[in-house]
Amino acid sequence: MWKKHIYLSRASAALIYGLLVSVAMNFFWDPGHIYSSGITGLAQLLNSLFKHTPVPITTGTWIFLLNLPLIILAWKQIGHRFTIFTVIAVVCSSVMIRLLHPTVLTKDPIICAIFGAILNGYGTGYALKSGISTGGLDIISLTVRKLTGKSVGTVNIIFNIFIVLAAGLIYGWPYAFYSAIGLFINAQVMDAVYTRQQKMQVMIVTTKPNSVVDCIQSHLRRGITIVHDAEGAYRHDAKTILFTIISRYEIPDLQEALNESDPQAFVSITENVHTIGHFYEPEP
């Protein structure tokens, strides 16, 4: 029953992503001549370059075609379940972009860049938060990280710089800057929605360390450092300090664990910490 609920949630996230990116594309990006990031932006670029051919290929179709080799890569290197939901997300976005009738609300490039980025950023962040990928460069990043343990953020940056330059060459350099603004807003909105990658240091001062440790580790797969023989300055009573690193996504689980084990514990959370070494991340 639990797995069925998770699968339905992920399928719903794929549909929501497809709807939001299609609205962003047909209502804002295309009318404003704004390019998205990653494979979606490349699909827009190819559509612009070949739209006057005898048999033009739509942006939605380009998105599907460009993702095909990446989907095969994901099936072989990442996982079958991950790939299935990625296919659902890619198909939903491709079909909805093709079927949703374009509506020109405005051609102001700044408005189109901002609102298109907000819609796409929320949709992508929501999909990632739900445990699915939207395809594209995500698959390359996950594959490289799985095989080498290294990040390929530089590849994403270079790819998006190429998209921005293409916007300038095709529509004029002001549109390159508008697209760059859209890429920045898209990333900020996506980070605000997708909280799994935001790490936080948690310090817990408690008189029930064993109970708290057991309860946290039953809710979260996180290591905990224990500092014994701490002392409260007011009552001079014995305390124990616990340190752990969690993601922002796991805060509700942490709160539930503390409510069960020691509701009187004092908790301090430091945001946006950086870690060196192994930090467990669930498999997609």
pLDDT given for residue 150 in this prediction: 58
Domain ranges of the chain: 2-193, 199-271
Distance from C-alpha of 189 to C-alpha of 140, rounded to nearest angstrom: 22
Per-residue confidence in pLDDT tens, the chain, 284 aa? 545 667 888 888 899 999 999 999 999 999 999 999 888 989 998 988 888 778 788 888 999 999 998 888 888 877 788 888 889 999 999 999 988 888 888 989 999 999 999 999 999 888 887 778 888 877 777 777 666 655 556 667 788 888 888 888 888 889 899 999 998 998 888 877 876 566 788 999 999 989 999 998 888 888 888 998 888 888 888 899 999 988 776 787 888 889 889 998 999 988 767 776 666 665 55
Nearest to 39 by CA among 14, 9, 62: 62
Nearest to 22 by CA among 123, 104, 105, 107: 123
Long-range contacts at 11-14 (CB < 8 A, ≥ 24 apart): 11/85, 11/88, 12/130, 13/89, 13/126, 13/127, 13/129, 13/130, 13/131, 13/132, 14/85, 14/88, 14/89, 14/92, 14/127, 14/132
Strand partners, 269: 202
Helix (H, G, I), strand (E, B) or coil at 245: strand
Nearest to 267 by CA among 249, 244, 247, 250: 244
pLDDT given for residue 109 in this prediction: 92
pLDDT given for residue 96 in this prediction: 92
Distance from C-alpha of 171 to C-alpha of 185, rounded to nearest angstrom: 21
pLDDT given for residue 278 in this prediction: 65
Dihedral, 271, 263, 230, 278 alpha carbons, nearest 10: -40
Q: What is the CATH number of domain 199-271?
A: 3.30.70.120
Angle between helices 2-23 and 109-129 (to 10 degrees): 170
Which helix or strand (DSSP H or E) is residue 62 part of? helix 59-77
